[in-house]
Amino acid sequence: MSIDPSWRVCPDETTPSHTCWTETAVHHAARLLAQDPGRDWRLRDLADLVHLSTSQLGRAFSQRFGMPPIQYLAHLRAHRLAELLIETDLPVGVAMTQVGWRSRGHAARQFTTIVGVSPSAYRRTATQRASLECPCCGQRSELPR
């Protein structure tokens, strides 16, 4: 998979081409993570896919999104886990695996750090309310009654 050169993040031709290329690569990296958060991502693999060094990708990604790529991936996984906890009756451990976390303990710590409560507590609290706000993005979703 390579970057489509016709898709440019930079708004005008006055932006230096190397800056525009890096911005395009960073957005492509974010899309790759969002399209497949369950993949066992390594920073080196992601950097190779977007043709940047790991340090270039880490620095540019953090500047653009306010966090490094792997932390961004954890937020994507936490968001998806929150959805699964609300929308399904899957056991918490199964849902954690479906979003890409291999270790239940690591998943619980990551989710708790990002969301503020454990996955089990989130599910208990969520099922008590008819509408919920996603802890990661603020998007509201309605629970079926």
Topology of domain 71-142, per CATH? Arc Repressor Mutant, subunit A (1.10.10)
* Tokens at 118, concatenated: 């454990």
Cβ within 8 Å of residue 7, ≥6 positions away: 24
Q: What is the mean pLDDT of residues 94-99?
A: 97
Separation of alpha carbons 84 and 131, rounded Å: 15
Q: CB of 135 within 8 A of CB of 116?
A: yes
Report pLDDT digits (tens) over 103-127.
999 999 999 999 999 999 999 998 7
Q: Give pLDDT, residue 131.
A: 53
Rounded mean pLDDT, 43-62 = 96
Q: What is the C-alpha to C-alpha distance for residues 91 and 28, in angstroms, rounded to an integer?
A: 33
pLDDT at 143: 46
Cα separations (Å) of 103 from 15, 76, 109?
Answer: 43, 16, 10
| Bridge partners, residue 141, by sequence | 132
pTM over 0.85: no
Query: What single-letter amino acid sits at 137?
Result: C
Write the DSSP string, the chain.
----TT---SSSTTS-HHHHHHHHHHHHHHHHHHH-TTS---HHHHHHHTT--HHHHHHHHHHHHSS-HHHHHHHHHHHHHHHHHHH----HHHHHHHTT-S-HHHHHHHHHHHHSS-HHHHHHHHHT-SEEE-TTT--EEEPP-
- The pLDDT score that the predictor gives to residue 1 is 39
Check whether 4 has a pLDDT greater than 90: no
